[in-house]
Structure 1
Amino acid sequence: MTRQVVAVVADDATAATAVLTTWDHTGTDRFRVHGPIPARIGRNGVGQAGESTAHTPAGVWPLTEAFGTEPAETRLPYRLVTTSDWWVSDVESPYYNTHFSGDPGTCPFDEAAGENLGAAGPAYAHAVVIGYNRDPVVPGAGSAFFLHVTDGRPTAGCVAIPKADLEALLRWLDPAKHPVIEISGRAVPPPSGC
């Protein structure tokens, strides 16, 4: 049963900004923990994601792991990444939409169609993997969706918030509470069900 919800709500489906709020659920009650926090989302808003849409995927997705170029205090499985860590976006690769470790120039996929996590800069100081298109993975349906540190600009489909807010969220997230992210392109009331 989900007992932690990260709600990301844009005013409409075409907006590149949203508001993030986190909620604890205790059976019949819910309590706001963080927010509202201003967030940047895909430059084309919320909708059907894909490799070339720049949409943030609408729906509810699990939050099961995190990574970053800096250490973090979190209960989620956390991977400290370097320039040998990739997120594969090569639709022809069996590693599509997964993490892969390999030195640049040696990877068994098109590195130009992948994201070098350690070379991405301050945005990946910390990031939580959004479980969109992870189980099962559908080639071309979109890859590399994360909740990460904002640079103040719209994203290619991720959700981005200020670093201090993301660090607080990482401390709060608890895999035993089955956290999810709920992304919507229209104003909706806070999540009600668990």
Structure 2
Amino acid sequence: LRSRIPKEARQVVAVYGEGEDSAKATVVLYSKAGATWKKTRSWPAHNGKKGWTPDHREGDKRSPVGVFTLSDAGGVVADPGARLPYTRTASLQAPHYWPKTHWHDFDYVIAIDYNRVKGTPPNDPTRPQGQSKGGSIWLHMDHGSGTSGCVSLSKSGMEYLLRTLDPQRHPVVVMGDRAALKA
């Protein structure tokens, strides 16, 4: 997937899934200076409950494999100093019929530009490729287990990414299970 990273990208959030059917992953932030990519930070993470897929579908509980831009952020709580455009809205609040462990999942989110319109709030329902391809794939707060298709990491990790990802550096996410990332 490295060949699909846009030439102008100077920040890459790499999500290394443990296996095709695993919900465990590692998130690593790389920054480019000149021609060299430097590992900046890393965090344990989770991805879709059922793992990864190159052909994501609504409700499949798998995270999409690919390279996607990162252009918008938001959350239920106040902006922690995000460089990406940040939309604070209560409409991101996780439903309270979900387990309590999930209530803060969307305190901070970074929209992964998979089947969405860039420049809109993360929860914009528009799906350019159609509803069946799914959407609302985000980096968000971790609750300790697999997600519906997003990638989740710690609060401190989310705050760091929000403060560090810079639209002037054209950030992207490269995500998938390790075998797919090597292919």
> Do both share a fold (TM > 0.5)?
yes
Distance in 2 between residues matched to 1:29 and 1:182, nearest whole Å: 17
Instruction: Decide which of 59, 70, 75 is 1:63's aligned counterpart.
Output: 70
Distance in 2 between residues matched to 1:5 and 1:16, nearest whole Å: 21
Alignment of 1:137-148 (within 5 A): 137-139=128-130, 140-148=132-140
User: By percentage of residues, which structure has more helix?
Assistant: 2
Distance in 2 between residues matched to 1:122 and 1:12, nearest whole Å: 27
Structure 1's unaligned 5+ residue stretches are 86-116, 190-194
Deviations 1:4-51 (A, max 9, x none): 00000112211101011000012310111111x110100110112111
Distance in 2 between residues matched to 1:13 and 1:185, nearest whole Å: 5
Distance in 2 between residues matched to 1:184 and 1:51, nearest whole Å: 17
Alignment of 1:175-194 (within 5 A): 175-186=167-178, 188=181
Distance in 1 between residues matched to 2:13 and 2:94, nearest whole Å: 27
Q: Report the secondary structure of 1:25's partner residue.
A: strand
Instruction: Decide which of 33, 44, 48 is 2:50's aligned counterpart.
Output: 44
CA RMSD across the alignment: 1.5
* Pair 1:34 & 2:41 matched: yes
Deviations 1:67-123 (A, max 9, x none): 1011121110000011xx3xxxxxxxxxxxxxxxxxxxxxxxxxxxxxxx1344311
Q: Report the secondary structure of 1:166's partner residue.
A: helix
Distance in 1 between residues matched to 2:68 and 2:36, nearest whole Å: 21
Aligned AA for 2:114?
A: Y
After TM superposition, which residue ranges in structure 1, 4 or more long, deviate above 6 angstroms? none
2:24 matched residue in structure 1: 17
In the alignment of these two chains, the number of paired residues is 155
Aligned AA for 1:6?
A: V
* Pair 1:154 & 2:136 matched: no
1:77 matched residue in structure 2: 85
Distance in 2 between residues matched to 1:119 and 1:25, nearest whole Å: 35
Q: Report the secondary structure of 1:124's partner residue.
A: coil
* Pair 1:128 & 2:135 matched: no
Q: Report the secondary structure of 1:74's partner residue.
A: coil
Distance in 2 between residues matched to 1:166 and 1:133, nearest whole Å: 22
The percentage of aligned residue pairs carrying the same residue is 33
Find the structure with the greater CA-based Rg.
1
2:166 matched residue in structure 1: 174
